[in-house]
Amino acid sequence: MKRRLFVKASLLTGSLAGPVSLLSKASEMSAKPKKASPEFYELRVYTLKNATQQKLVEDYFQNAAIPALNRLGSNNIGVFTEQKSEGQTRLFTLIPYNSVKTFMDVTDKLSTDTAYQQAGTAYLNAPAAEPAYDRIQSSFFKAFSGMPRLEVPEKKSRMFELRRYESPGEAAGKKKIEMFNDVGEIAIFKRVGLTPVFFGEAIIGEMRPNLTYMLTFDDMAEHDKNWKAFVGDSEWNRIKAIPEYADAKTVSRITRTFLVPTSFSQI
């Protein structure tokens, strides 16, 4: 009798162990943090002829575009002028989107946004004889998996460095992105004070293939000090010595632009 009871208890325990084990595993899986899906960025560069056009475009972003885009879920919009321009400054704007679909839907949604249309009328309806700008140059980026979301720095007086790395071919460009995502270059940046705002792979735009990223500093003195720390970093020197990641193989040209935020920039 006791043996029969022991067998029944053993069978019951075994039958419960399976579901409990499965539930435990499911709980463990759900507890693991999900990787954030990468966002997308539109970088616009406005070429302007004079201060009148600059004011018109800045007023448009401050009073019409930024409020409307915020309503549509695009937050942390940056608007910048060149730190030291030769003549009339260009205007740089950075607009994050949660997905490609969000980006594709924006134009249609803005066309039915009455508040946006009214606030932006001077820009949107500028006459041909007095256009709001000379040209707009746009690029579209996908955020790196190693930094899938834009990181907004502390709101204070600061400068920004926008850097574009062009590569000799698509495979070389992917290799350079791999250095940031998988080999640890982003972590080194953060450790030595090269504070990133975003990293993006160009999907559409000029000078492809390229990756573009933005860093921020208190001033040029901090910029120079932190870049010097990066160049001398032992881990960075180990990585760049790996033959497949050599700059000669992955980067054909670097373009950098120093920027300062406008008073209404959200970055």
What are the pLDDT digits (tens) for 112-132? 999 999 999 999 999 999 999
189 falls within a domain: yes
pLDDT band at residue 34 under the 50/70/90 scheme: low
- 47-85 pLDDT, tens per residue? 999 999 999 999 999 999 999 999 999 999 999 999 988
R_g of the chain computed on alpha carbons: 25
User: Number of folded domains in the chain?
Assistant: 2
Task: Provide the domain limits for residue 22.
Answer: 1-28
Residue 35 lies in a domain: no
Is 248 among the domain residues?
A: yes
66 touches 116 (CB < 8 A): no
Identify whether 94 is part of a domain: yes
- Identify the pLDDT of residue 6: 44
Rounded to whole angstroms, the Cα distance separating 239 from 175 reads: 12
pLDDT > 70? residue 253: yes
Residues 21 and 135 in one domain: no
Which one is predicted more confidently, 35 or 202? 202
Instruction: Please report whether residue 266 resides in a domain.
Output: no
Name the CA dihedral angle for 170, 173, 85, 217, rounded to a multiple of 10 degrees: 160
pLDDT band at 36 (very low <50, low <70, confident <90, very high): confident
Q: What share of the chain is helix, strand, coil (3-state, %, to 5)?
A: 45, 25, 30
The pLDDT confidence band at residue 10, using thresholds 50, 70 and 90, is very low
Confidence of residue 31 (pLDDT cuts 50, 70, 90): low
Kindly tell me if the per-residue pLDDT of 3 is higher than 80.
Answer: no
Residues 6+ apart with CB under 8 A from 195: 153, 189, 215, 216, 217
Residue pointed to by tokens 């720095």: 153
* 64 and 139 inside one domain: yes
Residues 119 and 50 in one domain: yes
**Residues 23, 141 within the same domain:** no
Give the range among 1-10, 97-106, 189-198 with minimum mean pLDDT.
1-10
Contact 202, 216 (CB under 8 A): no
- 3 and 88 co-located in one domain: no
Confirm whether 33 is domain-assigned: no
Q: What is the CATH number of the domain that holds 257?
A: 3.30.70.100
Examine the domain organization and report whether 23 and 96 are in the same domain.
Answer: no
Residues 12 and 111 in one domain: no
Strand pairing partners for 204?
A: 140
Residues 133 and 182 reside in one and the same domain: yes
User: Does residue 238 lie within any of the structural domains?
Assistant: yes
Among residues of the chain, what percentage have pLDDT more than 70?
87
> Do both 60 and 86 map to the same domain?
yes
pLDDT one-digit tens code per residue, 116-172: 999 999 999 999 999 999 999 999 999 999 999 999 999 899 999 999 999 999 999
Question: Is residue 32 pLDDT above 80, yes or no?
Answer: no
- Output the pLDDT for position 84: 87
Is the domain of 132 the same as that of 217?
Answer: yes
The answer on 137 and 109 residing in a single domain is yes
Residues 220 and 175 in one domain: yes
Q: Does residue 170 belong to any structural domain of this protein? A: yes
From residue 84, alpha-carbon distances to 160, 165, 172, 220 in Å are: 12, 21, 32, 12
Residue with tokens 């004889």: 129
